Structure 1
């Protein structure tokens, strides 16, 4: 799709979800860096090009000048410091890694960069000072940068996952054109039912059971209007709307924070979603919450299902134990979402960018 193969440097790579998308957009990754051993192993299992360096980014910064002139630097620095789900601590060491990302950009001097992070960093007043500091530093390096908040469901991902993408391009660029290019990449996501039904029930070679955490009822439920929100089961694993989209898959999956659904409803044995009736009973007061195990038809999603919701290729190989794999999947940028962003940026660089390589 591009006039030439663009080159890319991948930072905070994780299992490589963002790389899958960028590669599909015609970008050849020449260097990747990830500190987590299992995630780096996953990357190597799917990208046998030897570009992965499994080390702390601070230890590789000095070597990045050899990639000076690469077209794009991309990555998603750890976001726990900014996450609404976390402590939102500006002094969290992980909060500083967005600036380490720019340190890498300074050394490589690409034509463009794409940094993904949680939505909160893109719009919350609490992070206004950090956001302003980030944009000013990018500007001092010669990059006009705009944060775009995107919803994964609009980019082919059956998951209500909103994220900010800071897109920086050398010299001034037209934000309206970039927005238009991003809009042109939109494609409606399939429902969870359509996405997962071909995998088949859990417990087969194609879709093995990978999470044994029991599902029990909360004795003091926190209710919301939707049956797929609130907390009326143990842990923080939420029910998934089979006919709609999953909530954001968390990196804390693997135990009782793993989302779940009604398997009988998914595969047509039942005509109604069990959790909808249970939720209605709690709201109306006809059901008294008590600690007991939920029906067996409710089960937590498997690794294969989580990977499919994140739009990883079906044959993607994951390394590590099940808990580590769930974490890798939850931490990833959905592949199709990354692909859409990458295609928009490549199109911009090819058609509208006046700066020389």
Structure 2
């Protein structure tokens, strides 16, 4: 499949399509750190195809620089990753760069466009946070550029993913406008809400996956919404965490020989850590003050012993000395422990970049929030997936992504159809 990837983020959706041997003519993304991540991952796939993963492993071990990696992977001067915000001013320039990249790769046609505009303006949490400002948020209207790319490149199909809140934003007006615009562009679309835990991801993450295809008025339509293959979950969240070494808040552990255990069946089946892979990267934690750690300890104990979540209002009654927020009546579940003995964790969100209270590690001996690598694993990113940028940006990239394992199941089915 030849694919154009829009609003790419760190590449969770595209990772699934890389795994079924797709060719990309461009990943278009506004965030510079996410683009650096996309370049690093494109380098990984180029080197894997060339049977030169030793070069990539040298990068993970910090033996070579980013520039050396990109140069040896033949992407230092390519337009595979385009770091530009899509707008009226930039649209034509992006189209030219994609077409030039197609020409350089001797590709004449795009089969599939994938991606989803930023979801903050559609998500229920985002709308609550922005209040009346959400009405004029320009991100509400980025779908129009997605439709313009459909009109320009005329792919056979497209995948448009977003949060469930897209259906209810502005009382359904935005979704109605999206549907109308896609129809005018000559495409039929259908959608379903998919849950990541049905596709090999140990997380209750819900996404709206819209699949569309070009309407051919002369021929009877041969496409329909695919039945993506579900994966029976035989594991608990503990499988994601158990081989990683213990770590203190505000520290990191990276390098060879640092895994606590061999890999396990879940990690192998989900392509997170293959047997024999022994380079740990980005096991990095944020620092916590002593007050927060005392609250974490109470939250962990309460969950592990009573299967009960910490309620902030109850905390104010039982341990008033630990209360720093005056508001004890709303968002009372602000401290949340990852439930290691269940089959799925709660959703990893981009807000994790702001604080770790909602993502507390279940081990009473560590008393901290999740590390970068642990959050990435809960999203089903493989351990050899390296995120670029500062820690805050990396957490945001992880939280915004489509889980690669879920994306892989989507990619397999779309490839079969095409």
SS of match in other structure, 2:124: coil
Q: Against the structure 1 CA distance between its residues 133 and 254, is the aligned structure 2 distance closer, same or farther, given a 3 Å change threshold?
A: closer
2:225 alignment partner, one of 174, 178, 203: 178
SS of match in other structure, 1:29: strand
CA distance in 2, matches of 1:95, 1:189: 39
CA distance in 2, matches of 1:229, 1:343: 41
Q: Which has the higher helix share?
A: 2
Residue aligning to 2:386: 317
1:114 alignment partner, one of 150, 159, 173: 159
Q: Against the structure 1 CA distance between its residues 164 and 90, is the aligned structure 2 distance closer, same or farther, given a 3 Å change threshold?
A: farther
Deviation at 1:23, TM superposition (A): 1.2
Deviation at 1:337, TM superposition (A): 1.1
1:239 alignment partner, one of 337, 350, 371: 337
CA distance in 1, matches of 2:95, 2:152: 6
Indicate yes or no: 2:110 matched with 1:70. yes
SS of match in other structure, 2:368: strand
CA distance in 2, matches of 1:153, 1:193: 15
1:55 alignment partner, one of 70, 74, 84: 84
SS of match in other structure, 2:127: coil
2:308 alignment partner, one of 220, 223, 227: 227
* Aligned 8 A contact 1:210 1:302 in 2: yes
Residue aligning to 1:39: 34
Deviation at 1:189, TM superposition (A): 6.9
Over aligned residue pairs, what C-alpha RMSD do you find?
2.9
Residue aligning to 1:352: none
Deviation at 1:147, TM superposition (A): 1.7
Indicate yes or no: 2:221 matched with 1:168. no
SS of match in other structure, 1:149: strand
Gaps of at least 5 residues in structure 2 are 44-74, 103-107, 129-133, 255-279, 300-305, 316-323, 326-333
2:286 alignment partner, one of 187, 211, 220: 211
Indicate yes or no: 2:13 matched with 1:18. yes
* Deviation string, structure 1 residues 64-106 (Cα, Å, up to 9, x no partner): 2626730111112100111111126343111111222112211
Residue aligning to 1:337: 406
Q: Against the structure 1 CA distance between its residues 10 and 254, is the aligned structure 2 distance closer, same or farther, given a 3 Å change threshold?
A: same
Residue aligning to 2:349: 250
CA distance in 2, matches of 1:231, 1:105: 48
Q: Against the structure 1 CA distance between its residues 189 and 300, is the aligned structure 2 distance closer, same or farther, given a 3 Å change threshold?
A: farther
TM normalised by structure 1 equals 0.77
CA distance in 2, matches of 1:255, 1:318: 17
SS of match in other structure, 1:166: strand
* Deviation string, structure 1 residues 257-299 (Cα, Å, up to 9, x no partner): 45112214xxxxxxxxxxxxxxxxxxxxxxxxxxxxxxx6432
TM normalised by structure 2 equals 0.66
Deviation at 1:42, TM superposition (A): 1.0
* Aligned 8 A contact 2:122 2:169 in 1: no
CA distance in 2, matches of 1:185, 1:24: 17
Q: Against the structure 1 CA distance between its residues 47 and 228, is the aligned structure 2 distance closer, same or farther, given a 3 Å change threshold?
A: farther
* Deviation string, structure 1 residues 2-38 (Cα, Å, up to 9, x no partner): xxxx100011111111111111133211111111111
CA distance in 2, matches of 1:228, 1:174: 49
* Aligned 8 A contact 2:190 2:225 in 1: no
CA distance in 1, matches of 2:149, 2:406: 23
CA distance in 1, matches of 2:210, 2:135: 19
1:260 alignment partner, one of 350, 360, 382: 360
* Aligned 8 A contact 2:356 2:370 in 1: no
Indicate yes or no: 2:377 matched with 1:308. yes
SS of match in other structure, 2:285: coil
Q: Which has the higher strand share?
A: 1
Gaps of at least 5 residues in structure 1 are 1-5, 265-295, 350-357
Deviation at 1:228, TM superposition (A): 4.8
CA distance in 2, matches of 1:230, 1:22: 41
* Aligned 8 A contact 1:178 1:344 in 2: no
